[in-house]
Amino acid sequence: MGEMETEQKFDQKTLQRADFCMSKCTACKVGRDKGKGFFNWVVRMESKLKICPWCRAYEKVYGVPAYQKPPEA
């Protein structure tokens, strides 16, 4: 049920970008999983600068910055 709500709110491109950030982006995955270190610092800086379209999509879809795990996971 929650997945259908997400699909209705966001277009396919945004969902694909958020999925890439969540499951395939090395920097974001390692930064999220460890919660500290270089990659976490890089992703935190990106969240302030808002440069990466994949990180912005992740934040839009999951409601948390790319350096944090999504609430449902």
- The Cα 44–Cα 67 span in angstroms is 6
Q: DSSP code of 25?
A: -
pLDDT category, 5, cuts 50, 70, 90?
low
Tokens for 28, please give them. Answer: 């974001």
User: What is the rounded average pLDDT of the residues 30-52?
Assistant: 94
User: What is the rounded average pLDDT of the residues 14-33?
Assistant: 95
Burial class (CB in 10 A: 0-12, 13-18, 19+), 25: buried
Inter-residue contact 31 to 43 (CB < 8 Å): yes
- The Cα 12–Cα 26 span in angstroms is 22
Q: Has this prediction a pTM greater than 0.85?
A: no
User: What is the rounded average pLDDT of the residues 7-12?
Assistant: 79
pLDDT at site 1: 46
The residue extents of the domains of the chain are: 26-61
pLDDT at site 9: 87
